[in-house]
Each structure stands twice: as C-alpha cells, then as structure tokens.
C-alpha cells in the first residue's frame, strides 16, 4: 500500500505548515493549500518534499464550494485516495468585544464562510472518498475561543463555537469509517496572531502566558501540529471530541488564600 494522503487547508504558514511538514515526516503525501501566500506555500512544499513527500500546492478559497471540490479532485487524480483532512484555514477580524459597531454583517458572514462553512464544504468533499476506502480521519483546528468565549472578536468566538458543535454533530453520521475531532488551542506564537496585535500587546501576551500558565508555555505552531496529527494517526476510539490545548489557560487563576482565611 502506498503512502497516505492528507489535505491541510490554510497550510502555507503557521499551524497548517507545521502540520503539513510533520505529516510529510510521517510518510504522507500532502496537499498544501493557500489563498494568497503562494511563496510561503511553495516553501512549505519544499520542506515537505525534503522529507520524501509528494506535494500538491493548491490555491483555493475554502469558502467557495467549487474550489473545495477542485482541491479534493486534484488529490484523487494524483494519488487516488484521501486519508486525512485537516481543516486549518481560518479568518478573523480583531475587534474589542465592547465595540459592537466594529463588526458588520459582512464581517460575520466572511468569518463564518471560512471557519464554519468552509470546513463543512471540505468535509462534504472528502467524505465519499473516505467512505469508499472504508477509513479516514478529519480534524478541525478550532480554538479555545469557541470554548471559553474569549478571543479576537465576538464573530470569531461564535464561529469557533459553531465549529465545535458541528464536529460533534458530524461524529454521529461519519462513523464507523471516519473519525472527526477538533483541537482547541489557546494563543499560538504565529504570524497570524502577531499580525492582529501591536508588538507591545503581543509580547505582553506571550510574557503573561510564560509566567502565569500552569505549564509556563505559550504554544508554538509545532506544538499544535503534534496534537492535530495525533488525532489523525492515533486515537482510534475517539470521535466527536474537542480537545483543549492551552497549557492550562482554561483552568483560570488558582484562588489565593491567607492562613487567616482557612
């Protein structure tokens, strides 16, 4: 049997790129998807190929169903199978929660179009092939924002909560052949996060995480990629799970008491 085949949406940079490279290291052929970052996508493909993988670099906007279908068709035409799908493509608009006028209907629709509808369209496109093979695994790169309702904007929070719910709903109908799960990272040290904040705010966030989190670490793209790939290659009896990966941030601060309070 030949190498397994993985499609990773939004994989030119960040978590998507790290996931593509890790899967290449594990002897998968990979589809590297981008919308605008062609040079970065080609560089990611080069790194994957250095690990012996065959690659397809495919420009597609996952909010467009025909482009999702075309990307899947390209993988089938090249390799005849699709074993793994990582829905990593994401969109947000950084906007303080209290600024209700800062989000328009178009903002909500564009964010949902990628984060929720795009993931659904990719799943819909790969499912017939995975069902025919009799085996497949899908993992959605969600966010802690969809669990604790804190993130870059209310629209983003709502979209990730919807993605988490959709993951659970689909688990009911995709089995037994296909497992589907989601990973919910906290802040990740990526260009995507840094691009939405001032340098001062970004550095403060990282410092607070490294100081206050139980594990004293803010995730790297590679940290999150390891969990995404584990859901694909391992976890044979896990489906419909949303796994938080945040160094313990969701636990909140431990209450502090003086001896007089005890």
Active site residues: 156
Distance CA 167, CA 120 (A): 9
In whole angstroms, what separates CA 197 from the centre of its chain? Answer: 20
């Amino acid at each position: 049997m030949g190498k397994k085949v993985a499609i990773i949406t939004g994989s030119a940079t960040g978590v998507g790129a790290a996931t593509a490279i890790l899967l290449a290291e594990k002897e998968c052929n990979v589809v590297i998807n981008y919308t605008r970052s062609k040079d970065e996508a080609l560089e990611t493909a080069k790194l994957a190929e250095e690990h012996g993988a065959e690659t397809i670099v495919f420009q597609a906007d996952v909010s467009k169903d025909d482009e999702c279908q075309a990307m899947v068709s390209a993988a089938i035409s090249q390799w005849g199978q699709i074993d793994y799908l990582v829905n990593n493509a994401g969109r947000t608009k950084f906007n303080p929660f209290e600024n209700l006028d800062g989000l328009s209907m178009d903002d909500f629709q564009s964010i949902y179009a990628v984060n929720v509808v795009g993931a659904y369209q990719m799943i819909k496109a790969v499912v017939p092939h995975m069902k025919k093979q009799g085996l497949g695994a899908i993992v959605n790169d969600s966010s802690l924002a969809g669990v604790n309702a804190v993130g870059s904007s209310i629209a983003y929070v709502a979209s990730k909560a919807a993605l988490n719910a959709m993951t659970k709903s689909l688990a009911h109908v995709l089995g037994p052949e296909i497992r589907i799960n989601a990973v919910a990272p906290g802040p990740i040290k990526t260009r995507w996060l840094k691009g939405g904040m001032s340098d001062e705010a970004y550095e403060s966030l990282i410092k607070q995480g490294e100081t206050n989190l139980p594990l004293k670490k803010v995730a790297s793209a590679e940290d999150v990629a390891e969990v995404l790939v584990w859901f694909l290659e391992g976890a044979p009896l896990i489906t419909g799970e949303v796994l938080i990966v945040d160094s313990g941030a969701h636990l909140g601060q431990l209450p502090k008491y003086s001896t007089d309070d005890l």
